[in-house]
Amino acid sequence: MLLAPPPGSHVIDACAAPGNKTSHLAALLKNQGKIFAFDLDAKRLASMATLLARAGVSCCQLAEEDFLAVSPSDQRYRQVQYILLDPSCSGSGMLTRQLEEPGTGTPSKERLRALAAFQQRALCHALTFPSLQRLVYSTCSVCQEENEDVVRDALQQSSGTFRLTPVLPSWPHRGLNTFPGAEHCLRASPKTTLTGGFFIAVLERVEVSR
């Protein structure tokens, strides 16, 4: 919903499996345009292919490939204007996982550092696609290191090319006040929104005045 690609758009789903987000994107596109969906897990991709086929999705190209290895200069992606980036995260906001696996709610500092480093590389890489106009970054983590810190560092590296865009102004739980504009990010938690914990940031390319 927040990515909002119009029918006919070219979209990348950077960490796609198991496919629920991809099928939703296809519905938004009305099965018109192209979705390039990447994931490294062959079994999950196979299950995803089955899910998409059952949903009647015909606009998606699946690739068993690391998104970080995808070249932004590849001609296949020259028209990509929208990217959904939902990278691997600690899952610290997932209540069901914490119930099933006690002790998973608070990741170690070492694991957080490793995850945040990967997430930042993925976000910075996504922002280098030449035609990109809008990107949604999301996690099911409540940890600042995977959320506001990743977005802040990526924006700094983009040197003003991208900015956070305000979304859902009535949403009650905003990003942590760790850098200017963080209030445009969205958070959720069992305490504030009566949901699992998650984080969303919407980045848009800054229009250059002529």
16 is in an annotated binding site: yes
Q: Check whether 31 is labelled as a binding-site residue.
A: no
Distance CA(13)–CA(95), nearest Å, equals 25
Best CA proximity match to 77, nearest among 63, 94, 58, 95:
63
The full DSSP string for 19-71 is: -HHHHHHHHHTTT-SEEEEEES-HHHHHHHHHHHHHTT--SEEEEES-GGGS-
Confirm or deny that 66 is annotated as ligand binding: yes
Other Cβ atoms less than 10 A from the Cβ of 92: the count is 19
124 annotated ligand binder: no
Phi then psi for residue 201, to 5 deg, are -130, 135
How many other C-beta atoms lie within 10 A of the C-beta of residue 74?
11
Q: Is 86 annotated as a binding residue?
A: yes
Q: Binding residue per annotation — 18?
A: yes
Which SS3 state, helix, strand or coil, does residue 120 take? helix
Of 60, 89, 140, 185, which is the active-site residue? 140
Contact (Cβ atoms closer than 8 angstroms) between residue 140 and residue 196: yes
Distance separating alpha carbons of residues 83 and 134, to the nearest angstrom: 7
Active-site residue 59, yes or no? Answer: no
Q: Which residues are annotated as a binding site?
A: 15-21, 39, 66, 86
Which residues are marked as active site? 140
Q: Which residues are annotated as a binding site for S-adenosyl-L-methionine?
A: 15-21, 39, 66, 86
